[in-house]
Amino acid sequence: MSFPKNFLWGGALAANQCEGAYLEDGKGLSTADVITGGSVNHPRMFAPNIKEEYYYPSHEAIDFYHHYKEDIALFAEMGFKVLRLSINWTRIFPNGDDKTPNEAGLKFYDNVFDECHKYGIEPLVTLCHYEIPWNLAVKYHGFHNRKVIKFFLNYAVTCFERYKDKVKYWLTFNEINCSAMPAGALSGLALVQEEDLKRTEPFCLDGLKDVPQERYEALHNQFVASALAVQEGHRINPDFMIGCMLCHITWYPHTCNPKDILACQQKDHLFNDFCGDVMVRGAYPDYMMPYFKKNNIDTSFITEGDKEILKKGTVDMYTFSYYMTNCVTVDPRVEQVGGNLIGGARNPYLKLSDWGWQVDPDGLRYTLNLLHDRYPNIPLMVVENGFGGVDKVEKDGAIHDPYRIDYLKKHISAMKEAVEEGVPLIGYTSWGPIDIVSAGTGEMYKRYGYIYVDRHDDGTGTFARRPKDSFYWYKKVIETNGEIL
Ligand code: BGP
């Protein structure tokens, strides 16, 4: 057994990390557009009063908005079967609460999808990837306000109707489970408080006040918005495959101390299982109620009507990002490491990437089996995975990236083993097939691509594209359906 014949090989992008053209053709300001660039040592900042002296990576990004034809042609050359990208809500509804959509924005994505189909590439579209219209954050306090459910639904239905014959695969919210954590600030669903909006100087994302009651209410409203969108999507085109998307951080107990095991199970419940259970099984899981009670979260926001909506709006597939694993321990002396938005205890068996993430291909095989055991009735898709590293352009223009090939090879091989073990995996879109802005640090310096982009953190560069060694390697992988790695 090997990868299924129609396996969806491809790559994944997010609008605010690649498009640029941040106010072009009627686009409105999004939450991502008011976040500055940073680095591994300098956190990104909220700087809503746009000023010349600050650098906002989303404003130009890699200018996919004007280069999409060239980029999609390169993806086609690699043999992509699928391209995951997000629609920027503010291209369609610049303020989020507008009465009518912006035709120029709708047209842009028509063009992008047509270009994909020209090469037989199936688009996989995320409706909300770490950004919402800034106006919704300011005027309504983002998803904390139930009115935003209506605005999201209006946006989703507008997209479903417009692209019903061009897009079959949809995801509602990117890494929705990050909104369950205080770190959800970056998710663009940031619950910026009124006092923060009055600040004239940039302020750190991590510095946002965390109000757990509001955080869980906002997450709940996203669940309801997603479930309603799933129902509407199926009404508009019964062939749609609509998925949830989670940031799956697989946790291991640091030791076999039962206290570590219990702490690990709780972490898993709160971070990984909770959102998946609501979206796949259609109800809040039992373990959340005692947690809410213990943490003084009033759950009266979960109305009977909402429960019905959640039950009727379960997803057709479970998709997730996988970059690394972390450990959990009750022992405060154990060294901590960073990770994708959330860190954990150091695993002595794993090596760290340049950005301090623990590289763990076997963990992907384990995770796929874990998820299939938990949700046996729906297919899985890995919609993000990849290696953020530093690339060097040689004098002759070549870019040798054996570290990236090594990472991807091992992870694809782990997926293959999981498929052989019976996991219904239908696709793989590696993260950032072309270099894009990093979400965590806002850098271009951290690169994931098979295609190099001449763009740098000081805003210089020609935007020229150039294949790296991994480009030719991934082409072969797709050509042989994962047989030659
Ligand atoms: C995920 C996000 C992506 C992305 C990726 C890599 O959490 O969905 O948007 O960027 O992580 O993270 P980074 O860009 O910080 O390296």
Residue 14 Cα: closest atom of ligand 1: 9
* Of the candidate ranges 110-114, 176-180, 471-475, the one whose mean pLDDT is the lowest: 176-180
Whether residue 448 has its Cβ less than 6 Å from ligand 1: no
pLDDT digits (tens, 9 = 90+) for 293-311: 999 999 999 999 999 999 9
Whether residue 321 has its Cβ less than 6 Å from ligand 1: yes
CATH of the domain at 108: 3.20.20.80
Q: Please report the pLDDT score of residue 185 as a whole number.
A: 54
Q: Which of 85, 382, 384, 441 to mutate to test the pocket of ligand 1 (most atoms within 8 A of CB)?
A: 384
SS3 letters across the chain: CCCCCCCEEEEECCHHHHCCCCCHHHCCCEHHHHECCCCCCCCCEECCCCCCCCCCHHHCCCCHHHHHHHHHHHHHHHCCCEEEEECCHHHHCCCCCCCCCCHHHHHHHHHHHHHHHHCCCEEEEEEECCCCEHHHHHHHCHHHCCHHHHHHHHHHHHHHHHHCCCCCEEEEECCHHHHHCHHHHHHCCCCCCHHHHCCCCCEEHHHCCCCHHHHHHHHHHHHHHHHHHHHHHHHHCCCCEEEEEEECCEEEECCCCHHHHHHHHHHHHHHHHHHHHHHHHCCCCCCHHHHHHHCCCCCCCCCHHHHHHHHHCCCCEEEEECCCEEEECCCCCCCEECCCCCCEECCCCCEECCCCCEECHHHHHHHHHHHHHHCCCCCEEEEECCCCECCCCCCCCCCCCHHHHHHHHHHHHHHHHHHHCCCCEEEEEEECCECCCCCCCCCCCCECCCEEECCCCCCCCCCCEEECHHHHHHHHHHHCCCCCC
Whether residue 11 has its Cβ less than 6 Å from ligand 1: no
Mean confidence (pLDDT) of the chain = 95
Q: Report if residue 469 sits inside a domain.
A: yes
Q: Please report the pLDDT score of residue 143 as a whole number.
A: 93
Model confidence at 39, pLDDT cuts 50, 70, 90, reads confident
pLDDT digits (tens, 9 = 90+) for 7-19: 999 999 999 999 9
Considering the entire predicted model, what is its pTM?
A: 0.97
Q: For residue 312, is pLDDT > 90? A: yes
70 catalytic, yes or no? no
Which is the catalytic residue, given 60, 131, 217, 384? 384
> Percentage of residues in the chain with pLDDT exceeding 70?
98
Q: Determine the average pLDDT of the residues in 205-215.
A: 82
Q: Which of 174, 438, 445, 447 to mutate to test the pocket of ligand 1 (most atoms within 8 A of CB)?
A: 438
Residue 10 Cα to ligand 1 midpoint, Å, equals 17
Q: Determine the average pLDDT of the residues in 328-345.
A: 93
Residue 388 Cα to ligand 1 midpoint, Å, equals 9
Q: Please report the pLDDT score of residue 190 as a whole number.
A: 59
Q: Determine the average pLDDT of the residues in 223-251.
A: 98
pLDDT digits (tens, 9 = 90+) for 428-477: 999 999 999 999 899 999 999 999 999 999 999 999 999 999 999 999 99
Residue 115 Cα to ligand 1 midpoint, Å, equals 25
Q: Report if residue 1 sits inside a domain.
A: no
Q: Determine the average pLDDT of the residues in 276-288.
A: 98
Q: Report if residue 97 sits inside a domain.
A: yes
Model confidence at 182, pLDDT cuts 50, 70, 90, reads confident
Whether residue 446 has its Cβ less than 6 Å from ligand 1: yes
Whether residue 439 has its Cβ less than 6 Å from ligand 1: yes
Residue 241 Cα to ligand 1 midpoint, Å, equals 23
Q: Report if residue 484 sits inside a domain.
A: no
Q: For residue 184, is pLDDT > 60? A: no
Whether residue 222 has its Cβ less than 6 Å from ligand 1: no
Q: Please report the pLDDT score of residue 1 as a whole number.
A: 66
Residue 221 Cα to ligand 1 midpoint, Å, equals 23
Structural domain harbouring 413: 8-479
Q: Report if residue 386 sits inside a domain.
A: yes
115 catalytic, yes or no? no
Whether residue 386 has its Cβ less than 6 Å from ligand 1: no
How many structural domains does the chain have?
1
Which is the catalytic residue, given 115, 122, 131, 175? 175
